[in-house]
Every structure is written in structure tokens, then in C-alpha cells.
Amino acid sequence: MLLAVAGLKDDEIKDRTRKLAAGEWDSFAPAERQAYAFVAKLSSRPASITDADVKELVNTFGPERAVDIIWYSAWVNFMTRVADSFQLPLERENVFAAIAPKKKPG
């Protein structure tokens, strides 16, 4: 949903999410691949995150963006686990569509 808010078109969102889910990251920039690998590790094996993993993020993205990546991915993992625990259904419609930027005609 947030990809739509960021301005991606439906076909771009489907392609990107398919690649991300399948682990097909070759077409993404090296920095993106690094962030995806970190987030995948944090999601599946959080206790295995090392100081070196964090240092790599800081070296690539800077301290503020590294904190953003760590915080947001940890928060999403937390929310997913809470929703799964309560068996909450996913939203069927993009709740962010109303605030998505308006596209200019033409």
C-alpha cells in the first residue's frame, strides 16, 4: 500500500512485490539489496544480527537512514506477529489511497 503512496503504478507494485517475495533482488540497486538482506535476516533470525550488520547499514545509508531501516523493519515484524496472533485479516483495499499524491493529467 505504501508503494502506491510513493507513486508506483499497480503493475510496478506487483512486479516489485513478486520479486521481493521470491528473493529475486538482482534487478535492485546494491544498497537496496543490502537493506533487503538485512531485513530478511532480522525477520527470520533476529538474534543473529551483529554489530557488523549494523555497521554495514550505517556505512551505506548513514546513521539516520540505518536507524530508519532497523526501526521500521522491526516495527513491521512486531505488527505482523501481533496481527497473526489475533488472526486479523489483511485490508482488502489500500487504506492509503485517499492520501496518495494526485497524478497530473497528460
pLDDT of res. 51? 97
Q: Is the pLDDT of residue 96 over 70?
A: no
DSSP states along 3-49? HHHTT--HHHHHHHHHHHHHT--TTS-HHHHHHHHHHHHHHH-GGG-
| Residue type at 50 in one-letter notation | T
pLDDT of res. 68? 96
pLDDT of res. 69? 96
pLDDT of res. 5? 79
pLDDT of res. 87? 85
Q: Is the pLDDT of residue 6 over 80?
A: yes
